[in-house]
Chain A
């Protein structure tokens, strides 16, 4: 298996633009997680899905952020409109069964820069 795939790897955009980050989890994994990593706040969970259903989105910072998982092999994280403080590395991770008892496998991340 190729592991968790994220695209794009790097994204540079201007303030106010819409940004869409994409993730393909490992085939057969039931859980998908979106994280954000910054120097100031470390690694934060934004939202996670179980069997394509959003379970907890309490980490989503604002209404400008939205995430979808239309099927088991694809998820998106969208920021509209983007702001400079959204600049961070965004990671997607997946796990096989219940997230508590199985490790999470992380993608390489998308480095987002909002000018």
Chain B
């Protein structure tokens, strides 16, 4: 059974720092991996989707990498801003249409 773990569970950093969020999964037979953002009281917003054949994806200040063999993905946020404060969730897709979500990292960026 696929299990997805995110470390750290919470993170508080000053504005301007570069930071890395980690996601690990137990079964490397994944089809893709997605990173989502969730703001308090809101739904999830997709940030980046990495197919299993890809190593990384970039969008603005965000960069996500994928290492299937080691069962790891990282989300790199450059020059963090208070507006980046949210919970970040990673989710892996296997050969069905399902996504298995991690428990999330709650990020706070203070001015």
Chain A residues at the B interface, C-beta cutoff of 8 Å: 4, 31, 42-45, 48, 50, 55-56, 91, 93, 98-101, 103-109
B42, B96, B99, B102 interface centre (most CB from chain A within 10 Å) = B99
Is there contact, CB below 8 Å, between A106 and B45? Answer: yes
Answer whether residue B65 sits at the interface, using C-beta atoms and an 8 A cutoff: no
Is there contact, CB below 8 Å, between A43 and B43? Answer: no
Is there contact, CB below 8 Å, between B45 and A43? Answer: no
Residues of B within 8 A of A45 (CB): 98-100
Is there contact, CB below 8 Å, between A103 and B46? Answer: yes
Give complex CA distance A105, B45 in Å.
7
Chain B interface residue count, Cβ-Cβ cutoff 8 angstroms:
25
B72-111 toward A: CB 8 Å interface, digit per residue (1/0)?
0000000000000000010101011111111110000000
Chain B residues at the A interface, C-beta cutoff of 8 Å: 31-32, 34, 36, 41-46, 49, 51, 89, 91, 93, 95-104
Is there contact, CB below 8 Å, between A106 and B99? Answer: no
From A4, A43, A100, A107, B97 is in contact (CB under 8 Å) with A100
Is there contact, CB below 8 Å, between B93 and A100? Answer: yes
Is there contact, CB below 8 Å, between A43 and B89? Answer: yes
B76 to chain A, nearest CB (A): 19
Give complex CA distance A12, B99 in Å.
29
Is there contact, CB below 8 Å, between B32 and A106? Answer: no
Residues of B within 8 A of A31 (CB): 97
Chain B residue with Cβ nearest A59: B98
Is there contact, CB below 8 Å, between B97 and A109? Answer: no
Chain A residue with Cβ nearest B91: A43
